[in-house]
Amino acid sequence: MRLRILSIVVFLILAIGSTFAIFDLKFSFDFEQFFPEGDEDLAYFRDFIEEFETDDNFMLIAVRREEGVFEQKFLKQFHDFTLKTRTLPHVVESQSLTKFSYPIRTPFAITTVPAIHIDNPSRYDTDKIRLLNDERFVHNLISEDGKTLVVFLKTINSIQLDQAEEFMLALNELIAQYDFEEYHYLGRPYFQKELVAMQKREIIVSAIVSGFLVTIIMFLIFRKAWGISLALFSIGLGMLLFMGFLGATGRELNAMAALYPVLMIIVGTSDVIHIMSKYIDELRKGHDRMRAIKTSIKEIGLATLLTSVTTAIGFATLLTSRVTPIRDFGINAATGVLIAYITVIFFTTAVLSFFRTDQIIKLGSGISFWDKAMTWAYHYTKRNGRQIAWGSFAILILSFIGISRITTNYNIANNMPSGEKITEDLFFFEKELTGFRPMEFAIYAQGDYKATDFEVIKEIDKLETYLRQFPVLQAVGSVTAVYKSINQMYGNNNPAAYTLPASEKKFDEYKRMVEKVPQMGMNVLVSKDEKKTRITSRIFDLGADSIKVFGNRLDSWIEANTDASVMKVKRTGTGVIIDKNAEYIRRNLLQGLGVAILIVSILMALLFQNVKMLIISLVPNIVPLILAGALLGYLGIELEAGVSIVFAVIFGIAVDDTIHFLSKFKLARNKGLNIEEALKITFLETGKAICLTTVILFFGFLVMLFSIHPPSVTIGLLISLTLFSALIADLTLIPLMIRWLLKDDPNPQSVKVAQKNLVAE
């Protein structure tokens, strides 16, 4: 009695502490989180941005006017907005066409003329023609149809979440002062703020919907207020302790965080149902409450411990990933599973032991239904073994065909929240202006050449000219623009003169002019030692595999058409690094699952101490993994960082039901029952529990369909379908393989032992 009271008090104290710790939860979203740690290209990229600057330190504000932007009132408002954006927090520089001026050389000095003569509408047509024929501005600062102008803001490097939120608040307040009919954002601060807001929304919604679902299920199972309340309180307590643990330990919640409430609720529900079902079964046999709770802890507690450990192992395999959010999810989820188990074993059983059967569950037709259903399932597997075997073989063949169709050609748009402004804005920029994915080219001057020498500049221009012929590449720019602009100035500002000077002598003259004007931005284009420079660009969101193919094509052209004795080129940028995840995801997925299967095999071998039972336990859990891969292929779902966790979740959870089923079968066999008797009692006692938990798992993960995050929807759908298939595999393949691989003991003494045990029962 004292231990039970002490256990309840300890958990209530932990609950109070966790409530306070929840307020310390940290959220984060950063594309750098998805960089594959330990990759040589990542190490190179980090050195590259230290020398120059990051390629995503920008914010674009596109303002659209359907009648065209060349209207005086609109231009004045837009220009005023541009000037005021410079005062926004964490902004280093602001630029737009209303601030830009073309340099003009006169007999007396160099002067400038505005790109747009805001105060002289009679010149708008001329300005429009000039700007729409200037490769520097089309798709960058003005749309091709002349209906959108862009303010380019350069922000501080690696802007953090609190800074991004401060910036976005000030930006929204500023733009609200103008009556622009349409505007769109694109940039790192916007992504950070909106995607973290999505994470918070996802956690709240998934917790509420999952809680509502579990409440309905518990009502259908128990039909008694005390039974329902105890189950829900135990599940809620487990989730509260887990979230409190995350807050107290400073663990950051990233893009995977929306799965935590669903995961904790359904894992907790599974543990609660198994322990409560066993307790009720023991009470129905006429045992007193203390004996019933001890038997429940002894039989179900051990099986549930094993299931919790194997589930935790499944999640822990994600530690093999090079991607930080996936590793974090793995360790957090594994911890959550163990917290749920400890809560059920020490708190739920302590409270449960105070209740009688009639206080927990309403006895009646529900129990009769499950007895009939499980009896039918047992006889079905006994009568249709051959059909089950051939059906399973056919499903495996179809699954391998589906697996062969898996692609990793994922894109950023598919990871954006459905129906939200941020996604609408991304598509707008892709259609009207430039993409978000940066693609950088690092240029290394060879030998005695410097990056600003004429021979190197000519090679860079050759590469730029090649890049500009691809519509998927926009905002291509480099140091050549500086020299072309000067040449255009000397050519009476004629657009046709926007080229490199024809002679090295003329180029050297321009170079001396550049050196006298430090404000020309050369510091972000050329390294201090003048041995390195860069070509910047942005590529449309084609998909990781498509971009890889395109990148390889560029690399081949560069190798064949540029002078390696003058310069060498290497592609880099955040987009290139993130896309490398596709390679690592496939590799880590197989490595992680291999480790999980090995560890679970060792645990199964220790539990059953029988090679045949080991084989029986593994086959039904490999089948759902194969089916999950098949679904990816047939449904055309790209295998990307978020979706890759599906396999760890499936294996970790699917093995639970197998352990419960085989543990009960082993206990029945240890009592001397023959194979068929042991199978039948396993179906009747454990079959109901694993069916109920799978139903909860199925609908629990379907809660993710309420998500506005497409990968979460995909994850929920895949896990639900494959876990249901895991139940079918447990109820059909396990009995089939037991009958194939195990034989009854011919010793008549075993029959006497069985009869004696049955009488004792």
Tens-place pLDDT, residues 674-702: 999 999 999 988 888 788 878 877 887 88
Are the CB atoms for 420 and 194 separated by under 8 Å? Answer: yes
Query: Average pLDDT of 656-670?
Result: 85
Residue 401 in tokens: 């065909």
Residue 311 in tokens: 């589930």
pLDDT value of position 560: 92
pLDDT value of position 279: 86
Phi, psi of 298 (to 5 degrees): -65, -45
**477: β partners:** 536
Write the CA distances from 671 to 272, 274, 531, 664, 678, integer angstroms. Answer: 26, 21, 80, 11, 9
- What is the residue whose two structure tokens read 């887990």? 242
> Which of 366 and 256 is assigned the larger pLDDT?
256
Residue 231 scores a pLDDT above 80: yes
Query: Average pLDDT of 395-410?
Result: 85
pLDDT band at 590 (very low <50, low <70, confident <90, very high): low
Average per-residue pLDDT for the chain: 83
- Beta-strand ranges (E) seen in 118-254 are 148-155, 182-187, 252-253
The DSSP symbol for 441 reads: E
Are the CB atoms for 631 and 721 separated by under 8 Å? Answer: yes
pLDDT value of position 547: 83
Maximum mean pLDDT: which of 110-114, 290-294, 688-692: 290-294
pLDDT value of position 107: 65
**CA–CA separation, 314 and 312 (whole Å):** 5
Residue 749 scores a pLDDT above 80: no
Phi, psi of 105 (to 5 degrees): -90, 125
pLDDT band at 367 (very low <50, low <70, confident <90, very high): low
What are 242-253's pLDDT values in tens digits?
A: 999 999 988 877
Query: Average pLDDT of 99-110?
Result: 74
Residue 1 scores a pLDDT above 90: no
Taken as a whole, the chain contains a residue count of 761
Are the CB atoms for 200 and 340 separated by under 8 Å? Answer: no
**572: β partners:** 440
pLDDT value of position 78: 95
Q: 71-75, 244-248, 659-663: which range is least confident on average?
A: 659-663
pLDDT value of position 719: 84
End-to-end CA distance of the chain: 26
Query: Average pLDDT of 326-350?
Result: 88
pLDDT value of position 296: 86
Query: Average pLDDT of 699-724?
Result: 83
- Alpha carbon 466 to its chain centroid, in Å, reads 35
The residues near 257 (Cβ < 8 Å, ≥ 6 apart) are 27, 199, 202, 203
**Could you tell me the sign of the dihedral formed by the alpha carbons of 660, 661, 664, 666, in that order?**
negative
Cβ neighbour number for residue 527 with a 10 Å cutoff: 19
Residue 441 in tokens: 């080219």
What domains can be seen in the chain, in order of their start residue?
2-28+194-404+581-760 (1.20.1640.10), 50-180 (no CATH), 422-577 (no CATH)
pLDDT band at 173 (very low <50, low <70, confident <90, very high): very high
**Could you tell me the sign of the dihedral formed by the alpha carbons of 231, 236, 238, 241, in that order?**
negative
**113: β partners:** 102
Residue 151 scores a pLDDT above 90: yes
Q: 77-86, 493-502, 749-758: which range is least confident on average?
A: 749-758
The residues near 682 (Cβ < 8 Å, ≥ 6 apart) are 661, 664, 665, 668
For the CA atoms of 376, 377, 379, 382, the dihedral, rounded to the nearest 10 degrees, stands at 170
| 506, amino acid identity | K
> Which of 30 and 14 is assigned the larger pLDDT?
14
**CA–CA separation, 490 and 483 (whole Å):** 11
Residue 572 scores a pLDDT above 90: no
pLDDT band at 520 (very low <50, low <70, confident <90, very high): very low
**CA–CA separation, 450 and 530 (whole Å):** 5
> Which of 535 and 518 is assigned the larger pLDDT?
535
Residue 751 scores a pLDDT above 60: no
What are 403-412's pLDDT values in tens digits?
A: 888 877 777 7
Please choose, from the candidates 386, 415, 506, 519, the residue with its C-alpha nearest in 3D space to the C-alpha of residue 454. Answer: 506
Residue 734 in tokens: 């396990």
- Alpha carbon 354 to its chain centroid, in Å, reads 44
Query: Average pLDDT of 514-542?
Result: 75
pLDDT value of position 583: 65
For the chain, percent of residues with pLDDT exceeding 70 = 90
Cβ neighbour number for residue 103 with a 10 Å cutoff: 14
Q: Is 375 helix (H, G, I), strand (E, B) or coil?
A: helix
pLDDT band at 761 (very low <50, low <70, confident <90, very high): very low
Residue 419 in tokens: 């129906």
**CA–CA separation, 735 and 729 (whole Å):** 10
pLDDT value of position 758: 43
> Which of 414 and 714 is assigned the larger pLDDT?
714
Please choose, from the candidates 647, 734, 751, the residue with its C-alpha nearest in 3D space to the C-alpha of residue 690. Answer: 734
